[in-house]
C-alpha cells in the first residue's frame, strides 16, 4: 500500500484531489487543519491536509512510504497538541472577556502590564491619590512576589503584601516618641483645626497623664481663636496667656516655669509671609525643650500643601499632625507628604470632639486607611 499527503483550501477540494491523485478506492488515514504562509505570524492561510493510502502498484513516484507512515503515526499527537493550544487560547480569551465585563480592565493603561489582582490593588492606591511614582515601585515589588509565588495569589493576599510594602516604606521615618518635651507648639495654615487639636493634646496630658499644663496663644489676629482657647482652658481648669509681643511670650514662658507641659497656639493667617515664619521661628527658639508640629488637613490638595511646606522649611518641624480624616475618603496625600518631606505623623484627628477624636499614628494605620479598615 502507498501513502500520499495532500493539501487543499477546503476539505471537499482535498477529497477531490485524493480521487484524482490516489484513486477512487483510496483510504483516508487522517485529516487536519494546517496554517501556511503569512508575515510575522499574521495573515496565514487555512489549509486542509489529508493523508491517503493506495495500493503498492498504484503508488505515486517521488513519495517516501516510511516517512509518510511516520507522519501518520505522529498526526494524532499533533492534533492533540493543537487541541490543547486551542483550549488554552479560548480560556485566555474567556478570562479577558470576563475582565472587561466585570470592569477589571484598568482605565490606566500603565496597569495593563500587571495581572488582574495586582491591577485591582494598584487601582485602589491610585483611587486614594497615592503618588504614581510610589504606585509604580509598589507594582514592581508585587510583580516580583507574584513571579515567585507557587500558586496565583488572590486579591486579599496581594493586599496583605501591599500593606507590608507600605509599612516598610513608612517605618523608615522617625515614628519613635521619646520623652515629651515641655513646650508643644502647633503651626500651620488657618482652618486646619490647630486650636481644637491643641486642646485635645492638652486635655490628654491633663486628664490622662495627670500633668500640670498651661496654654499660650500667639494667635492674636483672631479674637474668636483667643476666646475658643480660653473656653477650653476654662473647661480643663488650666491657665492661658495671650502673647501679643515677643516680650509677652517670654514672660509667659517664665510664669509657667514650674508646669509640666505648655501648649502653644500660633496664627495661621500669615504663614505665606516668610518674615512672619522667620520671626515665629525665632520666638519659638527654646533650645531642646520645644517640639513643633505642623498641622495639615487630610482634605487639603497636595498642590496647596507644597507651598506651605516650602514656607515652613526654615522652621524646625519635628513631626506632622493630620486633621479632619473624617471628612474625606482619600488618604493617599498623607503617605505622599510623609515620604516626600521625610516627616512622620504623630497624630490624626477623627472629628471635633475634645478630647476624644484624636489617635496616635503608626505605620500600620496608614495602610489600613487606604484599604478600608483604618480607624475613623
- Tell me the pLDDT tens digit for each residue of 202-229: 999 999 999 999 999 988 777 777 888 8
Domain check: are 213 and 345 in the same one? yes
Q: In terms of domains, do 144 and 13 share one?
A: no
Last residue of a domain, which of 95, 117, 142? 95
Residue 61 lies in a domain: yes
β-bridge pairing 345-349 and 358-360: antiparallel
Mean pLDDT by 10 residues, the chain (376 residues): 77 80 75 63 66 61 50 52 54 52 52 81 89 88 83 86 89 70 89 91 92 90 82 91 87 92 83 66 71 91 86 82 90 90 91 86 89 60
What does pTM read for this prediction? 0.67
Residue 11 sits in the same domain as residue 119: no
Domain end (from 70, 95, 120): 95
Three-state SS for 319-375 is EEEEECHHHCCCCHHHHHHHHHHCCCEEEEECCCCCCCCEEECCHHHHHHHHCCCCC
For 72, 118, 214, 269, the CA distances from 241, given in Å and listed in that order, are 101, 55, 8, 20
Is there a single domain that holds both residue 352 and residue 332?
yes
Both 198 and 322 in one domain: the answer is: yes
In a domain, 230, yes or no: yes
Asked whether 184 and 291 are in contact (CB, 8 A), the reply is: yes
**Helix (H/G/I), strand (E/B), else coil: 120:** helix
From CA 180, how far away is CA 366, in angstroms rounded?
A: 23
Residue 69 lies in a domain: yes
Query: What does the pLDDT look like over 237-253, one tens digit per residue?
Result: 999 999 888 888 889 99
Residues 87 and 110 in one domain: no
Report the domain count for the chain.
3
Q: In which domain, by residue range, is 163 found?
A: 106-171
Rounded distance between C-alpha atoms, residue 46 and residue 37, angstroms: 9
Considering the domain architecture, whether residues 239 and 153 belong to the same structural domain is answered as no
Amino acid at each position: 500500500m502507498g501513502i500520499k499527503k495532500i493539501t487543499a483550501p477546503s476539505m471537499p477540494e482535498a477529497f477531490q484531489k485524493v480521487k484524482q491523485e490516489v484513486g477512487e478506492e483510496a483510504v483516508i488515514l487522517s485529516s487536519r487543519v494546517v496554517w501556511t504562509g503569512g508575515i510575522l505570524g499574521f495573515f496565514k492561510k487555512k489549509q486542509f491536509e489529508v493523508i491517503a493510502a493506495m495500493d503498492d502498484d498504484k503508488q505515486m513516484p517521488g513519495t517516501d512510504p516510511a516517512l509518510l507512515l511516520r507522519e501518520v503515526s505522529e498526526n494524532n499527537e499533533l492534533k492533540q497538541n493543537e487541541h490543547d493550544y486551542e483550549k488554552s487560547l479560548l480560556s485566555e480569551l474567556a478570562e479577558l472577556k470576563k475582565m472587561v465585563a466585570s470592569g477589571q480592565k484598568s482605565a490606566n493603561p500603565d496597569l495593563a502590564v500587571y495581572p488582574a489582582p495586582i491591577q485591582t490593588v494598584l487601582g485602589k492606591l491610585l483611587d486614594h491619590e497615592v503618588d504614581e511614582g510610589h504606585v509604580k515601585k509598589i507594582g514592581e515589588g508585587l510583580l516580583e512576589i507574584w513571579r515567585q509565588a507557587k500558586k496565583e495569589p488572590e486579591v486579599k493576599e496581594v493586599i496583605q503584601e501591599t500593606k507590608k510594602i507600605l509599612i516598610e516604606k513608612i517605618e523608615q521615618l522617625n515614628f519613635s516618641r521619646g520623652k515629651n518635651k515641655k513646650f508643644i507648639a502647633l503651626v500651620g495654615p488657618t482652618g486646619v483645626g490647630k486650636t481644637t487639636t491643641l486642646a485635645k493634646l492638652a486635655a490628654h496630658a491633663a486628664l490622662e497623664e495627670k500633668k500640670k499644663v498651661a496654654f499660650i496663644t500667639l494667635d492674636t489676629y483672631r479674637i474668636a481663636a483667643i476666646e475658643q482657647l480660653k473656653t477650653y482652658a476654662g473647661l480643663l481648669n488650666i491657665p492661658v496667656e495671650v502673647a501679643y509681643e515677643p516680650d509677652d511670650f517670654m514672660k509667659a514662658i517664665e510664669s509657667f516655669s514650674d508646669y509640666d507641659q505648655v501648649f502653644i497656639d500660633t496664627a495661621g493667617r500669615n504663614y505665606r509671609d516668610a518674615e512672619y515664619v522667620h520671626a515665629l521661628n525665632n520666638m519659638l527658639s527654646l533650645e531642646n525643650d520645644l517640639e513643633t508640629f505642623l498641622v495639615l488637613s487630610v482634605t487639603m490638595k497636595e498642590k496647596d500643601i507644597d507651598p506651605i511646606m516650602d514656607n515652613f522649611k526654615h522652621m524646625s518641624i519635628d513631626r506632622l499632625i493630620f486633621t479632619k480624616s473624617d471628612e474625606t475618603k482619600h488618604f493617599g496625600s498623607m503617605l505622599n507628604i510623609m515620604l516626600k518631606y521625610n516627616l512622620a505623623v504623630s497624630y490624626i484627628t477623627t472629628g471635633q470632639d475634645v478630647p476624644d477624636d484624636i489617635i496616635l499614628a503608626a505605620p500600620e494605620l496608614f495602610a489600613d486607611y487606604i484599604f478600608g479598615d483604618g480607624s475613623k
